[in-house]
Copies of this chain bind each other. A is one copy, B any other.
Amino acid sequence: MNKYIVEFIGTFFLILTIGLTVIGGAGSFAPLAIGSVLMVMIYAGGHISGAHYNPAVTLGVWMRGKCATSDVPMYMIAQIVGGALAGFIVMYLLGKGGAPAENFDPIKALVAEFLGTFALVYVVLNTATTKSNDGNSFYGLAIGFTVLACAYALGGISGGAFNPAVAVGVSVMSLSSWANIWVFLVGNFAAGAAAALVFKAVYKGDD
């Protein structure tokens, strides 16, 4: 149970920060804040739950054999509930929701979400689940700043979710249209699976 609470808390603060910075007017500083909050929540929760905060990460970590099958459904539920709740809190605090981007191209967005999520899960698996990197202090910085970099690079094309729980949260707060949520679900889960397959092909460590 404690693992699910940690997943809920981390995902809640991730999506709270996304909504408040993007709708609230932090402008181009939003990715810095978002990458940072993901980093700090990973450092805070990693020792308890593994600090996924992202159903696509949970999929990839499960395929890599580092997440118990029995934990997968509750992890994803905790993440999505945390993301949705954050969406409502954002709207309460700002007194408004956001508006979806007008030039959303679903195919390019799908490519962008695939690329960003692939990078994210590839970094997670290499920095946080391998024996050769055991005991390092950089995993949170690496994972959080992957989202920072990909949000600057790809955010203008897809919005830069790279995370189905984020997709739910930004749909709740009207930053993204519910009609487009399939783009995120397909792109993110496909990329999480692809990153796990690539990781398993290139990592030759014994654990």
Contact = CB atoms under 8 A, between A and B. Distances in A.
Indicate the size class of the contact surface on chain A.
35 or more
Contacts of A6: 202
A48 B153 contact: no
A44 B126 contact: yes
Interface string A1-42: 010011001000100110011001111111111111101110
Nearest to A115: B16
A134 to B, nearest CB: 10
A153 B44 contact: no
A85 to B, nearest CB: 12
A104 interface: no
Given A140-B138, A146-B37, A152 B47 contact: no
Q: Is the interface of A mostly helix, strand, loop or mixed?
A: helix
Contact of A33 (B36, B127, B153): B153
Interface in A58-112: 89, 92-93, 108, 111-112
Contact of A5 (B27, B89, B198): B198
Interface of A: 2, 5-6, 9, 13, 16-17, 20-21, 24-37, 39-41, 43-45, 47-48, 89, 92-93, 108, 111-112, 115, 119, 122-123, 126-127, 130, 132-133, 136-143, 145-146, 148-150, 152-154, 156-157, 198, 201-205
